[in-house]
């Protein structure tokens, strides 16, 4: 995001409205309240935390300045990676993200439902689907890290992997693909319940953060699944 048109006299809300998770985390890391304190100017919020507003704004503008390669370029680069390197990429960009992000949703859902469940009963269903998604993704990652990924690394290194009594690595991969299908179905239901994550007019900043974070969760998980299904798992056919 580009904050060059904003100054320290703009409110915190001006900066975090529709902001990606990276920006919201930057504010949280500096102990700046983006919910109840969202009406304060950035200058006021910074001074309360002993921060220099101009420096904070400069750091904010520097976030994400390096352009991201497009999907086609990313896919081409990933396809050139050896399986072990691709696994490390998945662990670093997706498994670590999920382990850090998923626990944060408990507080976001709790605060949002406490303030808005009367006018937005769909939040309860959205929360239920989120819990189903988490219940699918967490053990899924554990199985990949403990069983599947070590098997793929061994095969790529020309070593007979342990625990391959099921016949071939394709058997656990089929299970992983089915669990991916379950996650994709839940993500579709979440988007439908949230009406494409359109923020309602009466939404507070926590509500906005929840929807922004859920959309980022969706984006990251879709990319995660695509890299495994379309690249990593396909490469194992040649091992």
pLDDT for 52-86, tens place per residue? 787 788 788 877 554 455 555 566 578 889 999 99
The pLDDT of residue 1: 62
pLDDT of residue 150: 94
Q: What is the pLDDT of residue 67?
A: 47
Could you tell me the pLDDT band of residue 37, with boundaries at 50, 70 and 90? low
Tokens of 135: 């219940």
3-class DSSP state of 11: strand
Higher pLDDT, 50 or 108: 108
**Model confidence at 2: pLDDT above 80:** no
Give the model confidence (pLDDT) of 141-172 as tens digits: 999 999 999 999 999 998 876 655 555 889 99
Q: What angle do CA 52, 57, 60 make, to 5 degrees?
A: 125
- Mean pLDDT, to the nearest integer, of 27-32? 86
Residues in contact with 76: Cβ distance below 8 Å, sequence separation at least 6, in sequence order = none
CA distance 32 to 12: 9
């Amino acid at each position: 995001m580009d904050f060059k048109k904003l100054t320290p006299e703009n409110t915190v809300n001006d900066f975090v409205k529709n902001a990606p998770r990276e920006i919201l985390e930057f504010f949280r890391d500096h102990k700046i309240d983006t919910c109840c304190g969202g009406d304060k100017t950035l200058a006021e919020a910074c001074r309360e935390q002993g921060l220099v507003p101009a420096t904070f704004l400069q750091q904010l503008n520097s976030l994400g300045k390096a352009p991201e390669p497009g999907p086609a370029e990313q896919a081409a680069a990933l396809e050139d990676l050896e399986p072990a390197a691709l696994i490390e990429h998945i662990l670093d960009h997706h498994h670590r993200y999920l382990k850090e992000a998923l626990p944060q949703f408990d507080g976001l859902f709790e605060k949002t439902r406490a303030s808005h469940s009367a006018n937005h009963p769909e939040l309860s269903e959205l929360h239920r689907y989120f819990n189903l998604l988490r219940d699918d993704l967490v053990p899924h990652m554990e199985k990949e890290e403990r069983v599947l990924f070590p098997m793929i690394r061994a095969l790529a290194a020309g070593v007979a992997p342990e625990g391959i009594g099921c016949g071939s690595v394709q058997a656990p991969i089929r299970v992983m693909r089915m669990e991916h299908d379950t996650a994709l179905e839940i993500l579709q239901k979440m988007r439908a319940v949230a009406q494409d994550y359109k923020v309602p007019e009466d939404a507070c900043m926590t509500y906005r953060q929840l929807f922004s974070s859920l959309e980022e969760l969706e984006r990251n998980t879709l990319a995660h699944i695509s890299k495994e299904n379309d690249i990593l798992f396909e490469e194992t056919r040649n091992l």
